[in-house]
């Protein structure tokens, strides 16, 4: 999601230092941003001049220290792994100037826990963007236990400047978005696992019956089945409630490497360069 977040800030005139661990990942990210800005130009959403200006606002580096030393805000969007996030936030804390706001795009990891490894938990906050970031309007702004009023207000205001609609929520497992979304996805997987209906039938019910833009199984593939599994585990452990326990089919699929779009196969199969969805072989009746 990092490239989508960088895209939105750059499009709205902010200078962005995009940081990743490899040059290759950075090249790919900038190419994706360029492609997605191009789409906005084609659709008439922005002018070519905005596209060019946005690209001019982005610099890249593989050195975290270099990238964050002058930043007023850092938005972390690393893999959803708590140890990795704690390590990154310690490093950010050591290498940013006093007063820098440290935000995480985590989809479920506790902001309060992340803030606990920094010297100034009042400056740590959640900025949870939704995929695809340039298109989706919501930013779930998560207040950790110690996040200050001032920092919360700044992030709410900034999100509005980015053309988004921020919603302030408190820091409890899954926040609001995933506390509601993941049990629905899990229930859809249970419906498949128990043979109530097939992949396309389940998705069609939710698309045509509830006006969801995509069915829950397709959405799970887009989010990443490994990410869905990890969020469900956070919900189950955080609330100590077995109602959030992930469906055994989801666990098996992740263990077998079927992680959705990113691995080329989940509930559907994904052909490179094609938008057409095919139900994965093992789920055909
Ligand atoms: N993640 C990534 N990409 C997505 C996506 C998603 N959830 N949803 C759509 N896209 C991509 C599509 O693959 C497509 O890309 P290509 O053109 O490269 O194939 C592009 O966006 C446009 O999609 P559509 O053809 O569907 O175009 P549209 O204009 O009719 O609709 C949309 C676009 C409004 C984004 C619609 O597809 C939609 O509502 N999708 C669901 C979005 C959603 O539910 N997002 C939240 C996911 S949860 C999350 O991000 C947070 C989390 O913590 C888990």
Q: What is the pLDDT of residues 7-58, one digit of tens each?
A: 999 999 999 999 999 999 999 999 999 999 999 999 999 999 999 999 999 9
- Mutate-to-test residue for ligand 1 from 135, 207, 221, highest number of ligand atoms within 8 A of CB: 135
Q: pLDDT tens across 102-118, in order?
A: 999 999 999 999 999 99
Q: Which is more confident, 31 or 275? A: 31
User: Domain total for the chain?
Assistant: 2
pTM for this prediction: 0.94
Listed in sequence order, the residues at least 6 apart from 109 whose beta carbon sits closer than 8 Å to its beta carbon are: 80, 82, 85, 234
Whether residues 166 and 187 fall in one domain: no
Listed in sequence order, the residues at least 6 apart from 268 whose beta carbon sits closer than 8 Å to its beta carbon are: 199, 217, 218, 221, 277, 278, 279, 280
pLDDT-derived band of residue 277, with 50, 70 and 90 as boundaries?
confident
When the pLDDT of each residue in the chain is averaged and rounded to a whole number, the result is: 96
Asked if 230 is an active-site residue, the reply is no
Listed in sequence order, the residues at least 6 apart from 209 whose beta carbon sits closer than 8 Å to its beta carbon are: none
Looking at the predicted structure, is the pLDDT value of residue 276 above 90? no
Distances (CA, A) of 119 to 98, 101, 151: 10, 12, 15
Taking the C-alpha atoms of residue 109 and residue 80, their distance in angstroms, rounded to an integer, is 8
Kindly name the residue from 128, 186, 230, 258 that is annotated as catalytic: 128
Say what the pLDDT of residue 140 is: 98
CATH code at position 141? 3.40.50.720
Q: Whose CA is nearest to atom 17 of ligand 1?
A: 275
pLDDT over 90 percentage in the chain: 94
CATH code at position 265? 1.10.1040.10
pLDDT-derived band of residue 92, with 50, 70 and 90 as boundaries?
very high
pLDDT-derived band of residue 274, with 50, 70 and 90 as boundaries?
confident
Q: Whose CA is nearest to atom 20 of ligand 1?
A: 132
Kindly name the residue from 140, 159, 186, 191 that is annotated as catalytic: 140
Whether residues 70 and 151 fall in one domain: yes
Which ligand 1 atom sits nearest the alpha carbon of residue 222?
A: 1
Any idea which of 19-28, 33-42, 242-251, 266-275 has the lowest mean pLDDT? Answer: 266-275
What residues make up the domain containing 162? 2-170
In this structure, are strands 138-143 and 124-129 parallel, antiparallel, or unpaired?
Answer: antiparallel
Whether residues 126 and 43 fall in one domain: yes
Looking at the predicted structure, is the pLDDT value of residue 170 above 80? yes
Buried b (16+ CB within 10 A) or exposed e, 218-244: bbbbbbbbbbbbbbbebbbebeeeeeb
Q: Whose CA is nearest to atom 14 of ligand 1?
A: 275
pLDDT-derived band of residue 283, with 50, 70 and 90 as boundaries?
confident
Domain end call among 120, 155, 170 = 170
Q: 132 CA distance to ligand 1 centroid (A)? A: 5
pLDDT-derived band of residue 272, with 50, 70 and 90 as boundaries?
confident
58 neighbors 67 (Cβ within 8 angstroms): no
HSE on the CB side for 200, CA within 13 Å? 9
Asked if 110 is an active-site residue, the reply is no
Asked if 233 is an active-site residue, the reply is no
Whether residues 124 and 190 fall in one domain: no
Say what the pLDDT of residue 209 is: 98
Q: For ligand 1, say whether the CB of 132 is within 6 Å of any of its atoms.
A: yes
Domain end call among 145, 170, 195 = 170
Taking the C-alpha atoms of residue 194 and residue 191, their distance in angstroms, rounded to an integer, is 5
Say what the pLDDT of residue 250 is: 98
Asked if 178 is an active-site residue, the reply is yes
Looking at the predicted structure, is the pLDDT value of residue 125 above 90? yes
């Amino acid at each position: 999601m990092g490239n989508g977040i960088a895209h939105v800030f750059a499009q709205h005139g902010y200078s962005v230092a995009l940081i990743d661990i490899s040059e290759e990942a950075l090249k790919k990210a900038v190419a994706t941003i360029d492609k997605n800005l191009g789409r906005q130009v084609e659709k008439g959403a922005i002018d070519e001049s905005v596209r060019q200006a946005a690209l001019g606002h982005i610099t890249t580096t593989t050195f975290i220290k270099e990238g964050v030393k002058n930043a007023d805000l850092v938005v972390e969007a690393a893999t959803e792994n708590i140890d990795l996030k704690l390590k990154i936030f310690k490093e950010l804390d050591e290498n940013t100037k006093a007063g820098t706001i440290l935000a995480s795009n985590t989809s479920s990891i506790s902001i309060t826990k992340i803030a606990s490894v920094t010297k100034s938990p009042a400056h740590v906050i959640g900025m949870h963007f939704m995929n695809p970031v340039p298109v989706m309007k919501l930013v779930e702004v998560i207040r950790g236990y110690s996040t200050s009023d001032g920092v919360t207000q700044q992030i709410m205001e900034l999100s509005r400047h980015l053309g988004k609609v921020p919603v302030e929520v408190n820091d409890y497992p899954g926040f609001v978005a995933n506390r509601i979304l993941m049990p629905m996805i899990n229930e859809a997987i249970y419906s498949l696992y128990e043979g109530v209906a097939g992949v396309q039938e389940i998705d069609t019910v939710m698309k045509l019956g509830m006006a969801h833009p995509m069915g829950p199984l397709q959405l799970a593939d887009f989010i990443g089945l490994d990410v869905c599994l990890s969020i469900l585990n956070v919900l189950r452990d955080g609330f100590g409630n077995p109602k959030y326990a992930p469906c055994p089919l989801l666990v098996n699929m992740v263990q077998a490497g079927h992680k959705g779009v990113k691995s080329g196969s989940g509930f559907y199969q994904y052909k490179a360069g094609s938008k057409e969805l095919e139900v994965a072989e093992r789920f055909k009746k």
